[in-house]
Amino acid sequence: MTTPKTLIAEPQARATWRDYLSLTKPKVISLLLWTTVTAMFMAARGWPGGWLLLVVSVAGYASAGSAGVFNMIIDRDIDLKMARTAKRPTTSGLISTRDAAAFGAALQLLSFAMLWVWATPLSAWMSLAGFLTYVVLYTQVLKRNTWHNIVLGGAAGCFPPLVGWAAVTGDLNLFAWFLFAIIFFWTPVHFWALALMIKDEYREVGIPMLPVVHGDKLTVAQIGLYAIYTVVLSLMPVLLHEVGIIYFTSGAALGAWLLVLSWRLYRHVMAGHAVERRVAVPLYLYSMLYLALLFVAATVDRVVFAHL
């Protein structure tokens, strides 16, 4: 006679601080924070102040992180069907929707309060505008309904430099809006290079990204067009005398390579070849470096010429 085995329920895994941190999409935020901080140096034409830099950095991370949290909550149904997102805490059930929403709301409230009290009200409103653009306009309205999703919804990523600038000056001049516009036209180049590589995943879950709706050839043509827009627009602040020769030469060199990589991808696809990682990945990775270094060039230029 065998003795029945005692069934012992395995303890359910509990979310750790690392799981909550992953909800904020740290890798995505790093470039957003970079454009925020460098914009502060541009606005101040030098050191913006240690306390203000700390406040804006923490508040900026909290706001962008909050947007990431709500994005994961809203998209958990499609995240479950995609290999690269299936193990997110909101998808796996490790963190409940209620707990994630409370966490995201707390981050956004913290961000708004910090910027309002210790920076400027305008910076708080700009941060909130970026959050709403990403969560409402992009995630809820555009993402599942139109291939224009990344063009219009990408405006969410353009607000960080406005936050940094407004935190220092309390206003927004034309140059600050040029920083916004540069990121706006840069975003499709960056994101569509990635979308080309994972278009099958988007197709499976019904997300109408440009490569899914109109194919690779139109996508690479649009990438090339937006790359031209980006490079031309990035050099226009020189005409405003807001930046000088350091920025112009750096921007021209950085832009030239962005155009070369875009042309290589365009030529490869137009020749009838399938998209390959060896031609799409370099553009995707370089586009991030391009934006980071462009903002560094603008920062160095404004700081150097301010002290000549």
Residue 38 within any structural domain of the chain: yes
For 76-108, how does the pLDDT look when each residue is reduced to its tens digit (9 = 90+)?
988 888 877 778 888 888 999 999 999 999 999
Mean local confidence (pLDDT), 173-190: 98
Closest by CA to 161, choosing from 203, 123, 213, is: 123
Give the 3-state DSSP-derived string for 214-272, with helices as H, strands as E and coil as C: HHHHHHHHHHHHHHHHHHHHHHHHHHHCCCCHHHHHHHHHHHHHHHHHHHHHHHHHHCC
245 C-beta neighbours (distance < 10 Å), count: 11
Average pLDDT over residues 128-137: 97
Distance of CA 91 to the CA centre of its chain: 22
CA distances from 280 to 196, 214, 263 (A): 8, 18, 11
DSSP state of 136: I
Helices (H), 133-244: 149-153, 159-169, 174-197, 199-205, 210-235
Whether 208 has a pLDDT exceeding 60, the answer reads: yes
The predicted model gives 250-265 an average pLDDT of 98
- Residue 82 region by backbone torsions, left for phi larger than 0, else alpha for psi between -120 and 50, else beta: beta
pLDDT of 85 reads: 77
Per the structure, the count of domains in the chain is 2
Closest CA to 302 of 49, 52, 46, 50: 46
Residues 142 and 43 in one domain: yes
Confidence of residue 308 (pLDDT cuts 50, 70, 90): low
Q: Last residue of some domain: 152, 172, 192?
A: 172
Whichever domain contains 232, its CATH number is 1.20.120
Tokens 């913290």 belong to: 110
- Give the structural domain span for 102: 15-172
187, 122: one domain: no
Report the mean per-residue pLDDT for the chain: 93
Do residue 298 and residue 191 come from a single domain?
A: yes
CATH code (residue 69): 1.10.357.140
Structure tokens at 106: 């707390």
